[in-house]
Structure 1
Amino acid sequence: MNNWLKRNGIHLAITGIFIVICFIYFLPAFQGKVLSQGDVIRAQATQKEIMDVKAKTGTAPLWTNSMFGGMPAYQIWTFFPSNATTWVVKVVKDIFPNPVDTVLIMLLGAYLLFCVLKLNPWLAAAGAIAFTFSTYNIILLDAGHANQAFAIAFFAPIIAGILLTLRGRYWLGGALTAFFLAMEIRANHIQMTYYLMIAILVLVGIELYHAIKAKQTKPFFTSIVYLAAATLLALAVNASMLWTTYEYGKESNRGKSNLTQHTSEPSNGLDKEYAYQWSQGVGECFTFLVPNAYGGGAITPVQENSKVVQTLTQKGASPEQAQGLAQQLGTYWGNKPFTEGPFYFGAGICFLFILGLLIVKSRLKWWLLAVTVLTMFLSFGKNLPFLSDLFFNYFPLYNKFRAVESILAVAGLCVPILALLAVQEVIAGKDEQYLLKKLYIAGGIAGGLTLILLAVPELFLSFKGPEHQNMIAQLTQMLGGDSGTANSIASALIEDRKSLEQHDAIRSLIFIVIAFGLVWALIKHKLNVATASIGFLILALVDMWTVDKRFLSEDHFGEKQELSQQIKPREVDQFILRDTDPDFRVLDLTSDPFTNAFTSYYHKSIGGYHAAKLKRYQELIDNQLTKSVNQDVLDMLNTKYIINSDPKNQQASMQVNQTACGHAWFVKNVKYVDNADQEMQAISSFDPKNEAIVDKRFRKLIDEKQNQVDPTATLTLTSYAPDHMVYQSGATATMVAVFSEIYYDKGWKMLIDGKEQPYFRADYILRAAQIPLGNHKIEFVFHPTSYYTGEGISLAGSILLALALGGVAFREYKKKPEPATPQKK
C-alpha cells in the first residue's frame, strides 16, 4: 500500500488541487446555493408528474401525461436501476454539488488522457484545466445543459482508453474504454456521443494507415478486437436506455414523417433549417483567440460609459433608460438567433496549438488537426452548405441533431491536446535552433493575427449583424422617424463592439507573450521542466478563469427557496388545481404553448417543451393547433381549461371548455380512411364525441357485425396513474370506445377483465378499442419490452463490466512500477 501511495502521490496531490479549484470557483454551490439554470428549471417542470409519482409510490413511471398529451418518460427522466453506471452517477452527485460533479469529472478525465500521452503531471494538469474551462463547457453548465456537459466530460478518458489499447495495453485500455464509454452513453446525449465517434473514426483510420505502412496490422487488429468488445460491453450496460431510445426515436419528430401532404415536417430527420439554426459563423472562429471578437454573448453587460449610453443620454434619455435600451440592442453581432457566449479556447493555448502544428512529430498531430478542421467546418452549418449538406443528407443519424455549432466541443479537446504536446516536444527536443525558429514563426502567426485584430480589426470584422439595417429601421420608428439619431445609435453600437474586441485583443496578446516567454525559457534552459509546467498550469487557469467568470460567476447562484419561486402558481393555476378530476388537459395561451414547459409543472398540458416529442403529435400541432386552434381537436384531447392573457395588462384569465369530450366515450360511427393524410384531413372538421376516424389498416380489429349503439352506455375512469389507467364500462351492446390518451403501441397494453385485448389508433393520435357488451374493467398498462428486457441485459453487462474492472485493477496493483524516465533539466 505504501508503495502504491508513493507511486501515485503526485496524482493524488493534483486531484486535491482540482478539488480546491472547484471549491473556490463554485464556492456558492458548497454553501448550498444552486445555479439559476433555465434549462434545469424547465426540466423540473417536465419531470414534475414523474417525481410526484416516484415520491408517492417509490417507483418512477415510464410514461407521463404532463406534456404533449402524453409521452414516454425515457428522454425526460428514467432511473435504469440495473445499469451500473446509474449508481456511479448517483454516488458522484451525492458527494459533490451541481455543477462541481461534472467539472471534477472533466478535470480528472482529461488529466488521465494527458498522463496517457506521457506528459509530466503538472503539464497534464495544465491541459486538463485548459480543456475543462473552455468557455463552451462553462456556458453549458450555466445554461443547464447538464446531460450535454456530462457527456463531454467523458470525451478525454474514452480517448485515453482507446490510445492505451492501440499501444498494446489491451486489458487495461479495453476495460477503461468500456467503463468510460458506458458512462458516456449513460449521459444520454446521443448528439455529443455521435460527434465523439466521428473523431474516433478518424483516429482509427489514421492508425490503420500507419499499421499497414509499417506492416504491423496484427497488433492493430488485436486492438480493434478489444475495442469492439469494450464497445459491445458498454452498449450492453446501457441496453435498456438505448433500446427504449431507439424504439422511441423512430416515432419521435426525429423519425419518418407520417404525412405526405400539408406538412412542414421532413420525410426523415429534422428540418434542415431548424437543424442549422445555430451555425457557427466563419468569422466567429476568431473567438477561439479573442473571446469578444463577436461581441460576447446575449447577456454581455453594457458599460455605463459605452458609446450607445452616451449617445442616448445626449439625446435626452435618462441613464436608466439609456442603459436599458443599450442592453436590448446587445453587443453580439453574429448570425445566430442568440448566443450565451463564444467558443474561447485560450489565447496561450491557440499559440501553442500553432507551435504544435510546426514541431510535433507524433502522428497524433494529423489526427488532431484533421478533427479540428473537420469539426470547425461542420460547425459552420448553413454557412458552409456543401460539406454540411453532404453529412446531413448521407451520413447516418447526422440529420437527427440540431445546433451544429456544438460539434466544436470536440475541437475544444483537440486544440489543448496538441498545444500541450507542443510543450512536451520542446521538453524532449535537442535542436535548440530548430525549436527557436519554429517558436518565432508560431509567435509571429498568433501574435501577428492578434495585433491585426487590435490595430485594424476592420480587416476581418464588420461589427454589423445580419439584421443591422432592420435594427436601424426599428430605431427610426421608435424615435418617431428620426433617422439621424437612429444612425448615430447604430454607429455608437459598432464602436462599442469594436472596443470590446480590442480590449480582449490586448488581453489575448498578453497571454500569448507569456506563453511565448515560457517556451523560450524552456528552450534556453532558463526554467526547469517542473517550474515551466506549473507556469503553463497557472497561465491556463488565469486565462480561462477570468473569461469564464463573465458567463458563470457567483451572481448566477441563488438560494434554493428563491429559485423554486420561479415556477410560482398563478391565481388561475390555483383555481384549476382545485379540480379533483385526475386526468384532464390544459391549453395555456399566455405564451407559445408548444415551447412553454412551465404549464407542465402544475397541469397536464397539450403543449410543453421537449426536443423529441412524438412525430404524430408534432404533425397535429402543425396542422390543427398552430395557424388556428381546432376546437374539435381540443375537445378530443379533453382540454378542460384554456388560459389566456389580457392584452392590456397581460394578466392571466381562464375559461372552462364546456365541450371537452372527457376521459373516454363510446362513439356511434366509425369512418375509415386510407392513410395519414386523409386522417389528418378528416379531423379538421368532425364530431369527436360521436365519430371516430380510423385508418383502414385497423379495420380487422373491429367486428362491424356486432358493433351497435347503446345511448345509455357508460365509460368511466376509476383509477389514474400515468402508466396505469383503469376504466369501468357498462353497455347493453358491443361498441367502439375512444380513450383520450395518446396512442403509442411500443409498450401500452390493454386488458379487459385481466385479459390482454387488441386496441387501435383513432382520430390520428388517440387510443380506441371495441368493447364487448356488459360491465367490464378496462386497463391500459405501460409495460414496454424494450425497458424490462433491456434492464436484464443491462444487469448482465454491468456484472461483466465490474468483473473486468476488478480484474484489471488487481493486475495493475500487483504490477511492478516501470523505472522512471529521467526528464530534461
Structure 2
Amino acid sequence: MKHWFTRNSIHFGVVAVFIAICFIYFAPAWQGKTLVQQDVIQAQAMAREIMEFKEKDGKGPLWTNSMFSGMPSYQIWVSYPKNIGTHITGFFKNVFPNPIDTILFYLLGAYLLFSVLRVKPWIAALGAIAFTFSSYNFIYIEAGHASKAYAIAFFAPVIAGVWLTLRGNYLWGGALTALFLALEIRVNHIQMTYYLFIAMLILVGIEIYHAYKDKRLAQLGKAFGSIAVACIIALAVNAGLLWTTYEYSQESIRGTSNLSTETKAADVQGVDREYAYQWSQGVMENITFLIPDAYGGGSGPKLDGDSEVVKLLTSQGVPADQATAFARQLPTYWGDKPFTSGPWYFGAIVIFLFVLGLFIVKGRLKWWLLSATLLSIFLAFGRHLPFISDIFFDYFPLYNKFRAVESTLVLASLFIPILAVLALNEIANRYKEIPQLDKKVLYSFYIVGGLSLLVALLPSLFLNFRVANHQAMTQQMGQQLGDPAFAQSIMNALVDDRMSIARNDAFRSLIFVLIGAGLVWLWVKDKLKASIAVILLALAVLIDMWGVNRRYLNKDNFVEERLIKQQFQEREVDKLIARDTSNYRVLDLTIPTFNSASTSYYHNTIGGYHAAKLMRYQELIERQFNGAINQDVLDMLNTKYLIADDDKGSLRIQNRSSAAGNAWIVNRVTFVDSAEDEMRALDAFNPKDLAIVHSEFKSLIDSTKVGTSANSNIELVNYRPDHLVYEYSAPQAVLAVFSEVYYDKGWKAYVDGEEIPYFRANYVLRAAQLPGGNHTVEFKFEPRSYYMGENISLAASAILVLAFGFAVWRRRKENA
C-alpha cells in the first residue's frame, strides 16, 4: 500500500490542486453561503409538496398535485434508493457544498480521461482545467441546470472507459464504462446523454473502418462485446429511472399530440421544430469560442457610466444616474437567440493549441475529435443550417424530443480541449521528431492571433453588431421618445458600445494567444523546460478562463441561506388562502401562470413550470386558457381561489364558490368520438351535471346505471398525493368524476379494497362508475415501472459492484 501511494503521489498532488482551485473560486460556498440558481429555486417550489410528505414519513410521493393539477414527480424529485448511482452522487453532494461537487466531477472525470489517453499528469491537469472552465459549464451551474452539468461532467470518464476497452483492456475498461455510464444515466439528463451517444457512434464507425482495414475485426468484436455488456449493466442499474421516464415521455409534450392542429399533426411526436430551433447558434457567433464577448456577452445589463450611450445622454442634459439606468436596459447581446446567459468560450490559449493539434496530432483519435466537433457545431446552427439539422430532426431517432439545439456544443466544449491537450502531449513526448514544429507553432499563432487582431482593429469587417430587428427597435424607441433622430443616435451609440466590447475582448484574447504561443515557442526551442512551460501554460489558461467565468458566476451569486428562503416570501393573500385547510387548487394571475412554479411553494395550483408537462394538460391550457379563461374548466379543476391584481395595484382573492370540489357525482354522460370533440365539448358545459367521455371508454360504463346525484355524496377523507381516499353514499350505482389528472400508467382505483376500472372524463380528469351503497374509494399510484424497475436496479447495482471489484482485484494482481 505504501508503494501504491508513492507511485500515485503525483495524482494525489493534482487532486489537491483541483480542490484548492475549487476552494478559492467558490470560497463563499465553504463559508456557508448558498448559490442563487433560478432553476434550482423553481425546482424547490415544484418539489415543496413532495418534500413535505417526505419529511412526514420518510418517503417522497411519486405524484404531486402542486402543479398543473397533478403530474408524476419523476421529472421533479424522486428517490431511487436501490440505484448505486444515487449513493455515489449523494456522497459527493454531502461532502462538498454546491457547486463544488459538480466542479470536482468535471475536473476528476477529465483528468481520468487524459490519464487513460496516456497524457503526462501535469498536462492532463491542464486539460482538465481547460475543459472544466469552459464558460457554459459555469453558466449552466449559475442557471441551476444541475442535472445537465452533472451529465456533462460524466462525459469524459465514460469516454475513458470506452477508449480503454477499445484498446484491448476489456475487463477494466468495461467496468469503468459500466460505472460511469450508470452515473451518466442516473443524473437524468437524457438530452446530454443522447449527444454523447451521437459522438460515440462516430467513434464506433471510425473504429470499424480501421479494424476492417487492419483485419482486426475479431479483436474489435471482443471490445464491442465488453462495451455492450457494460451498457446493459448501466441501463439495468437505472431501470427504474429509464422505465418511468420513457413511460412518462409518451404522455408528455415530448410525445404524440392528441389534437390535430395547423402546426402539429396528431401523429407527429416530439417538440415543435420552431420550438426546438429557437436557441440556434448564429454561424458567426462561434467566434466567441475565441473572443468571449464578441457578440456582446449575456443578455443581462452590461453598459456602465463610461459607455457611449451614457456619454450621449449626459451630453444632452440627462442626469448621469438616469442615463446609466437607461443604458443598462439596452441589450449588448446582438445574436440570433431570444436571449442568452453568456457566450460559448473555450479559451484563447485552448483554441490556439487546438489549431496546433490539427497540424501535429496524428491518428484516428484526432479525426474522431474533429468530426464530432464539427458535427456538434453544425447541429448547433439549427435553423441557420437547416439542411443538416432537418435531417437529424426528421430522421434520427429521438432527436426531435429535445430543444435548444445550441446545446450540442457541449461536445465541442470537451473535444476541443482534448485535441489541444493531445498537441501538448505530442510536444512533450516527441517534439524533436515533429517536422517543422516551430513553423507549425507560428502558423497556429498567425491563424488564431491574426483573427483576434483583425477583430480588435477592424471589428466591423466581420461583425454587424445589430440585432435582426435593429431598425424596428430604433423606430419603437423613436416613438417612445418622440424624437426619431435622437433614437437613431442612441442606437448608433449602442452599436459603438457593442463594437468596443468586442474590440476589448479581442485584444484580451490576443494577449493570451501571445502568451500561449510564446511559451510553446520557447519550449520547442529548448529555451524553457517542459515542466515549467506546462505549469505556466496551465496558469495562463486558468487565469484566462477564470476571468471570463467570473463575469457569470462570482461571489455575488452567493447569499445567506435565509435570503434564498425569502425568494418565496409568503404574501398576505397566501396566508389568507392557507386558512382553508380543505383540498383545493389556486389560479394565480399575478405571475406567468403556466411558466412559473412560485405559487406551488404555498398552494396546489393549476399552473406551474415544467419543460415536459403532460400533453393533454398542455392542450387544455392552449385551448381553454389562451385568451379568455374558461370558468367551467376552472370549476372541474377544483379552482377554489383566484389571485389577481385589483385596480389599485394590490392583490385580491376571489373565492370561487362554483368550484366542483375534489369529486362529485354527475347525472349524465355524453360520449364523443374524437379528441377534438372532447375538447370542444369543454367550451361550455356544467361539470357538476355532465361528464364528457371518449367512446373508447364506453365499454367501462353501463349507461343504464348512471343514476341521479340526488341523495348521493362523495367526499375526500384522506389526502396524500399518491394515495387518495374518498367515502361516498349513493342509493344506486352512480358515475363519479374526480378532480384528479388522468394518467393510466400507475394509478389504480379500488372500492372497499377491490380493484375497479376507471376512465378518462372531461379530457384530463378521472372518472369511475361506482356501486350503490356506502363505500370507500381509493386511488393509489403504484407504477409497475418504478417498483419493478427499482428491483432490477438493485440486482444490477450488485452486479456492477462485483464486476468493478473483480476488475480492481485483477488489475492489482497483474501489477503486483
Q: Same fold (TM over 0.5)?
A: yes
Letter in 1 for 2:526: H
Q: How far is 1:301 from its partner? A: 2.5
2:485 is matched with 484
Contact 1:710 1:733 in 2 (8 A): no
Q: Distance in 1 between matches of 2:358 and 2:144?
A: 35
Q: Distance in 1 between matches of 2:301 and 2:813?
A: 54
Q: Choose which of 462, 465, 469 in structure 2 pairs with 1:463.
A: 465
Q: Choose which of 445, 448, 452 in structure 2 pairs with 1:446.
A: 448
Matches within 5 A, 1:225-624: 225-261=225-261, 267-427=268-428, 428-431=430-433, 434-480=436-482, 482-581=483-582, 583-624=583-624
Letter in 1 for 2:409: L
Contact 1:679 1:694 in 2 (8 A): yes
1:822 is matched with none
Q: Distance in 1 between matches of 2:546 and 2:706?
A: 72
Contact 2:667 2:706 in 1 (8 A): no
Contact 2:750 2:778 in 1 (8 A): yes
Q: How far is 1:275 from its partner? A: 0.9
Q: Distance in 1 between matches of 2:319 and 2:153?
A: 47
Contact 2:304 2:328 in 1 (8 A): no
CA 1:733 to 1:543, structure 2 compared with 1: closer, same or farther past 3 Å?
same
Contact 1:131 1:416 in 2 (8 A): yes
Q: Does 2:79 correspond to 1:91?
A: no
Q: How far is 1:259 from its partner? A: 1.1
Q: Distance in 1 between matches of 2:460 and 2:442?
A: 26
Q: Distance in 2 between matches of 1:133 and 1:653?
A: 47
Contact 1:247 1:746 in 2 (8 A): yes
Identity of aligned residues (%): 56
Moved more, 323-332 or 193-202: 323-332
Q: Deviations over 1:717-750 (max 9, x none)?
A: 1111100000001010111000000000000000
Q: Distance in 2 between matches of 1:510 and 1:813?
A: 47
Q: How far is 1:352 from its partner? A: 0.8
1:735 is matched with 734
Q: Distance in 2 between matches of 1:329 and 1:668?
A: 59
Letter in 1 for 2:86: T
Q: Deviations over 1:47-102 (max 9, x none)?
A: 00000000011100000000001000000000100101101111110000000000
1:132 is matched with 132
Letter in 2 for 1:707: V
Letter in 1 for 2:110: A
Q: Distance in 1 between matches of 2:297 and 2:647?
A: 34
Q: Distance in 1 between matches of 2:434 and 2:243?
A: 57
Q: Deviations over 1:443-480 (max 9, x none)?
A: 11111111111111111101001121122112112212
Contact 1:710 1:732 in 2 (8 A): no
Q: Distance in 1 between matches of 2:815 and 2:200?
A: 31
Contact 2:161 2:173 in 1 (8 A): yes
Q: How far is 1:539 from its partner? A: 1.6
Contact 2:257 2:264 in 1 (8 A): no
Q: How far is 1:262 from its partner? A: 6.8
Q: Distance in 2 between matches of 1:384 and 1:323?
A: 38
Q: Distance in 2 between matches of 1:399 and 1:666?
A: 42
Q: Distance in 2 between matches of 1:262 and 1:739?
A: 32
Contact 2:63 2:721 in 1 (8 A): yes
Matches within 5 A, 1:61-72: 61-72=61-72
1:823 is matched with none
Q: Distance in 2 between matches of 1:85 and 1:271?
A: 33
Q: How far is 1:679 from its partner? A: 0.4
SS at match of 2:748: strand
Q: Does 2:707 correspond to 1:708?
A: yes
RMSD: 1.2
SS at match of 1:725: strand
Q: Deviations over 1:568-612 (max 9, x none)?
A: 11111111111110x211111112200011011111110100001
Q: Deviations over 1:166-200 (max 9, x none)?
A: 01111111000000000000110000000011011
Contact 2:352 2:444 in 1 (8 A): yes
Contact 2:692 2:763 in 1 (8 A): yes
Q: How far is 1:525 from its partner? A: 1.5
SS at match of 2:641: strand
Letter in 2 for 1:773: G
Q: Distance in 2 between matches of 1:474 and 1:98?
A: 43
Letter in 2 for 1:792: N
Contact 2:301 2:330 in 1 (8 A): no
1:766 is matched with 765
Contact 2:350 2:420 in 1 (8 A): yes
SS at match of 2:324: helix
Q: Does 2:186 correspond to 1:186?
A: yes
SS at match of 2:438: helix
Q: Does 2:678 correspond to 1:676?
A: no
Contact 1:293 1:501 in 2 (8 A): yes
Gaps of 5+ in 2: none
Moved more, 24-33 or 806-815: 806-815
SS at match of 1:781: strand
Q: How far is 1:804 from its partner? A: 1.0
Contact 2:63 2:781 in 1 (8 A): yes
Q: Distance in 2 between matches of 1:27 and 1:401?
A: 35
1:115 is matched with 115
1:644 is matched with 644
2:686 is matched with 687
Q: How far is 1:242 from its partner? A: 0.2
Q: How far is 1:290 from its partner? A: 0.2
Q: Distance in 1 between matches of 2:494 and 2:475?
A: 15
Contact 1:265 1:271 in 2 (8 A): no
Q: Distance in 2 between matches of 1:4 and 1:144?
A: 39
SS at match of 2:86: helix
2:221 is matched with 221
Q: Distance in 2 between matches of 1:497 and 1:460?
A: 13
2:197 is matched with 197
Contact 2:182 2:238 in 1 (8 A): yes
Q: Does 2:54 correspond to 1:58?
A: no
When the two structures are superposed, what TM-score results if normalisation uses the length of structure 2? 0.99
CA 1:432 to 1:388, structure 2 compared with 1: closer, same or farther past 3 Å?
closer
Contact 1:672 1:694 in 2 (8 A): yes
Moved more, 519-528 or 611-620: 519-528
1:11 is matched with 11
Contact 2:135 2:545 in 1 (8 A): yes
Q: How far is 1:673 from its partner? A: 0.4
SS at match of 1:815: helix
SS at match of 2:580: coil
When the two structures are superposed, what TM-score results if normalisation uses the length of structure 1? 0.97
Moved more, 199-208 or 708-717: 708-717
Letter in 2 for 1:173: G
Letter in 2 for 1:468: H
CA 1:408 to 1:533, structure 2 compared with 1: closer, same or farther past 3 Å?
same
Contact 1:261 1:677 in 2 (8 A): no
Q: How far is 1:811 from its partner? A: 2.1
2:142 is matched with 142
Contact 1:171 1:808 in 2 (8 A): yes
Q: Distance in 1 between matches of 2:327 and 2:26?
A: 30
Gaps of 5+ in 1: 818-825
SS at match of 1:693: strand
SS at match of 2:302: coil
* Displaced runs of 4 or more, over 3 A: 261-266
Q: Distance in 1 between matches of 2:411 and 2:263?
A: 35
CA 1:98 to 1:532, structure 2 compared with 1: closer, same or farther past 3 Å?
same
Letter in 2 for 1:121: P
Q: How far is 1:492 from its partner? A: 0.7
CA 1:382 to 1:647, structure 2 compared with 1: closer, same or farther past 3 Å?
farther
